[in-house]
Structure 1
Amino acid sequence: MKALFTTQPGIGHLLPMLAIAQALQQQGHEVRFATARSFGPTVAAYGFAAIAAGLDWLEAHAVRTFPEMEDMTAAEQGDWLLSDIFADVAAHRMIPDLIAICREWRPDVIVRNDFEFASCIVAELLDIPQATISISFFLSASVLEPRIGEQLAYLRSMHGLSPYPALDMLYPYLYLVLAPSTFQPRELPVMHGIRPTPVGADEAVPAWCHQLAAQPTVYASMSSVYRGTNVFPNILAGLRDEPINLILTIGRGQDPAQFGPQPPNVRIEQFIPQAALFPYCDLFITHNPFFTITSALSYGLPLLMIPNGGELWMGAMRSMELGLGRVLRLPGQFAAFNSLVPEVAPHTINSAVRDLLQSPHYRANTQSMRAEIQALPDAMYAVELLCDLAASRSPIRAGVAASA
């Protein structure tokens, strides 16, 4: 079987897809990724062939390609990327290349993620069955319609397809959810749960990780869009004097010295593989990307979540509802949550972390979620489902056994 994976050029889009792509390769199937040319080396580093398609850009350096983002807040950037880039500019530019790739290579199935839309058009035009791997809390039609409904309708009309209903093309055959149903309710008949496989779990960690003091360890990692929001300075001010080990990873290309001298219990690094670090931790502070939190929950870690965009808020509020963690919001943003969610500040971070570490129900809830995650079938089950899809060319409904 030939499987063409499609993704936006961002590491957060790629990582959730890797385990299933690797499982396909291990079973002898052919896998290629279509993505921006500049993202090809990242894909190749994980052992996959990359085919250049569409606009050449990198999400990590989006402001270089789209300088209008410079004056946007982190939340505005996320919404704008969805509506104006993913569902508009990037999709329009990618469709002709995907058509050419599919006509030459003839994949049996296309595998996308929630934020890549060009492949939906191409799959329908060329009658290729298409599957989605979740990299986000599920975005229903009611959520997406006001944000990208017009863009997708126009995209369809540009290629001779009926413009409406525009969103029916997103999840017609198979949706692979990297979370248990308790966390992500099964809102579609073609939703199937697959165990998330954290990336980099067997990689090395710094030697000092093995020598941490016998006290709780709090780990904080944020997206590059949080630079300039003072989130890290607030975390440091709120936590460095507490009886904890505090670890911050601030991103490649960032200088830990920018935060000044720190006490011995604080470690600031550019990068540590998250899955390799999680076993040393008692609490995770995150901007709440879906795959990152399900990976953290697979280690039973309570969460302090500081989301910056719409779909990140959905997962954060669900996590809070389930008692998996606490939520804070960036100053001046999401005023609708004033009564429920405090703003980020040293004292609110301190209060939330104390509560998360001292209240046993958070750990009990995350350990229960960990057990549910471990009970999910692994990526090999996704391979069976994709093979069934390629063979049947029909929707793969939950509850119908995949072929052996």
Structure 2
Amino acid sequence: MGGVHPAQPEHPSCVDAVRIVFASAPAFGHVNPMLALARAFVDGDDDVVMATSPEMGARAEAAGIHAVQAGSNMSVWWAELTRRTGGAPGDGLPVDRILPYFIPRLFAEVGSQQQIDDLVRWVRGADLVIFDTFAFAGPLAAAVAGVPAVHHLLGPPPPLEAMVLAGDAVAPLWRKWQLEPRPYGGTYAALTLTICPPTLGLTDVPQGSQLATLRPVMFDAGKGEALPAWVHDLPRRPNVYMTLGTVTNTDVGVFVAACEGLAGEPVNLIITVGPANDPAALGPLPTNTHVERYIPQSLLLPLCDAVIHHGGSGTMLASLRAGLPQLIIPQGADQYINASVCREAGLADRLLPSDASPSAVRDRVRIMLQSEAMKTRAERARAEVEAMPDPAAVAESLREMARSHSSLRSMRHVDR
């Protein structure tokens, strides 16, 4: 079962410790943003579990967080959605319909059904549930168990239209558990943690939502992981990092376009193609290009001068925290929204995949490296991120919420 343990974790021995259940959809982009907060609770001697799939449980365990199984891997979710649709899910959708299609169908319908039984089991007896935006079984499990919940955004909020549809999609499951369905699937009924700096704005959050900020902190380097040795021997010139993430990273043509476009430029191009991809697929490389499957961004970005990426929230926020200008070439999911938000804030340029020719990539990178205005805005965003409350401070505030529930539960136990 990978890094996921089937046994129920025991309650903490420390009198003041609380039990926290993190509920995550089964993808790196969902688990990784919550690891820093989870670690803050672990470092405070609380009893913490990450409830997710077997594959993602291994990722949590590598970060020192106990993992328990809640549903299947994303491949199972996808197979079920494919079965229900009778074809390739979302095939041919225009960009603005991607999230309104997938959030209710894949995450609210398929995902919540996959995770709810396991999550209810883990949440019973907990003091607090923290769920990611797309883990719709999280707020339901918390409601079933009568446990307070916190909503952990992964980046800019999804379109409200998609969340309304998700609420409709998960409503039958709420009724199955004899509960009245809540708007947006219960997501915004809880305190919402936003990890975006103010410069990105906060649209698409329901009016009246309770919000708190949390500094986004990269927690992607496992124990013993380090930079490749060749990084330290690179020529003294700007380092440009490129990634298309770990899921929407199959368009080799985008990598090749960057290689060709930057081949004659005075830069070091560092590419990570993802753990499941083969660097050899890029063919012969220019002398200024280095390719790996994976390098922890928390170790690499401090050495970089610009980033080319897919618009995943994790890479976007890590680049902002590093104060780096960005070129975003969105590949799917919420990446088009992230690209638009960053471009409107003057923090990134954007190329659609069909426009990502070698010359277009080259020209955008030249502008990024030369634009003092873009560098200034990136540095301002970095300062905003650093001013946000860190995970330890947020954990302490949430710990008080959990302790209140724990005390109430103890009183009820005594009353019995």
- 1:349-401 Cα offsets, whole Å, 9 max, x none, are 122111111111111110111111111121112112212322456xxxxxxxx
Say which of 213, 218, 228 aligns to 2:251: 228
Asked if residue 83 in structure 1 is aligned to residue 104 in structure 2, the reply is yes
Q: d(CA) in 1 for partners of 2:276 and 2:152?
A: 30
The superposition leaves residues 173-200 of structure 1 with CA deviations (integer Å, 9 ceiling, x where unpaired) of 3211222222243855521111111124
- The Cα of 1:77 is off from its aligned counterpart by 7.5
Contact kept, 8 Å, 1:13 with 1:113, in 2: the verdict is yes
Question: Which of 63, 73, 77 is residue 57 of structure 1 equivalent to?
Answer: 73
Partner of 2:346: 323
Runs (5+) with no aligned partner, structure 1: 332-342, 394-404
- Cα distance 1:330–1:73, how it changes in 2: closer, same or farther (>3 A)? farther
Alpha-carbon distance in structure 1 between the residues aligned to 2:350 and 2:397:
36
Residue 338 of structure 1 corresponds to: none
* Post-superposition CA distance 1:54-102 (Å, at most 9, x none): 2x2235x876676654894796887654232211112013212222223
Distance 1:349 1:166, change over 3 A: same
Percentage identity across paired residues of the two chains: 30
- In the alignment, does 2:36 pair up with 1:19? yes
Partner of 1:274: 297
Q: How do residues 365-384 of structure 1 correspond to structure 2 at under 5 angstroms? A: 365-384=377-396
Among 277, 282, 285, the alignment partner of 1:259 is 282
Give aligned pairs, total: 376
The residue correspondences of 1:97-176 to structure 2 (distance < 5 A) are 97-103=118-124, 106-139=125-158, 141-145=160-164, 147-163=165-181, 165-167=182-184, 169-176=186-193
CA contact (8 A) 1:152 1:166 kept: no
**TM (normalized to structure 2)?**
0.83
Letter in structure 1 aligned against 2:105: D
Structure 1 stretch 226-235 or stretch 2-11: which is displaced more? 226-235
Asked if 1:194 corresponds to 2:214, the answer is yes
CA distance in 2, matches of 1:29, 1:213: 46
**Amino acid corresponding to residue 239 of structure 1 in structure 2:** L
* TM-aligned CA deviation for residue 46 of structure 1: 1.8
Shift of 1:255: 2.0
Deviation readout 1:103-131 (Å, 9 max, x if unpaired): 3xx00010101110001112122221100
Q: Residue 44 in 1 paired to residue 55 in 2?
A: no
Equivalent position of 2:10 in the other structure:
none
Measure the CA separation in 2 of the matches of 1:11 and 1:359: 32
Where in structure 2 are the equivalents of 1:28-39 lying within 5 Å?
28-39=45-56
- Mapped partners of 2:254, 2:101: distance in 1: 22
Separation in structure 2 between the aligned mates of residue 196 and residue 31 of structure 1, nearest angstrom: 19
Q: Does 1:4 align with 2:21?
A: yes
Paired residue secondary structure (1:225) = coil
Post-superposition offset of 1:166:
2.7
Write the letter of the residue equivalent to 1:192: A
1:317 Cα offset (Å): 1.3
The aligned counterpart of 1:205 is: 227
The TM-score with structure 1 as length reference comes to 0.85
- Counterpart residue type for residue 74 of structure 2: L
Deviation, 1:225, is 2.1
Helix, strand or coil at the partner of 1:171:
helix
Is the contact between residue 137 and residue 312 of structure 1 (CA under 8 Å) also seen in structure 2?
no
Partner of 1:290: 313
Instruction: Provide the C-alpha distance between the structure 2 equivalents of 1:169 and 1:231, rounded to a whole number of angstroms.
Output: 38
Among residues 305, 317, 326, which one is paired with 1:303 in the alignment?
326
Question: Could you say if the C-alpha distance between residues 311 and 260 of structure 1 is closer, same or farther in structure 2, counting changes exceeding 3 Å?
Answer: closer
Q: CA deviation at 1:47?
A: 1.6
Residue 411 of structure 2 is matched in structure 1 by none
